[in-house]
Amino acid sequence: MEPMLMHPYFGVFILFIFTFLAFNTTLRIQRFLSRKMADKRNEKLKLSAYECGPLPIKQANKISHQFYVMAMLFILFDIEIIFMFPWAVIFKSLGIFGFVEMLSFIAFLAIGFIYAWKRGALSWQSIK
């Protein structure tokens, strides 16, 4: 039992157990108090939709698929830019090999951008 107490991470384990117990205890107390203090009366205002304007009605989904394509392309090219920052930090230590690799990476990005442009993924058309 004593070698376990001497382990360097034993204190972290104790803190983990304490945090777990404190979280669960706090959660249960909060749950109990919120159920006891909640107003159980059903009123028209309380049951109504919390929105401005007219009551919501069911409508067909009018969001174009082009929105999702544009969002995915933005995320794709945004994340690709993130890969360039570590390269820029260690550019000198990579030498000519790192430079050629980044040029090929940018060339692949340009090919993907031109492909998306030619396919019309970057043109926005309104829905009527």
pTM to 2 decimal places: 0.45
Asked if the structure places residue 8 within a domain, the reply is no
Write out the H or E segment, with its range, that includes residue 71. Answer: helix 65-82
State the residue range of the domain holding 111.
Answer: 65-118
Q: What pLDDT does 74 receive?
A: 87
Report the SS3 class of residue 62: coil
Per-residue pLDDT of the chain (128 residues; tens, 9 = 90+): 577 778 888 889 999 999 999 999 999 999 999 988 887 777 777 677 766 666 666 666 677 777 888 888 888 888 888 888 888 888 889 889 989 999 999 999 899 889 888 888 878 765 54
78 alpha-carbon distance from chain centroid: 14
Check: CB of residue 107 under 8 Å from CB of residue 49. Answer: no
Sequential DSSP letters for 88-105 = HHTHHHHHHHHHHHHHHH
Q: Is residue 102 part of a domain?
A: yes
CATH number at residue 82: 1.20.58.1610
Both tokens assigned to 106 = 């940018």
Domain count, the chain: 1
Q: What is the per-residue pLDDT for 16?
A: 95
Would you say residue 72 lies in a domain? yes
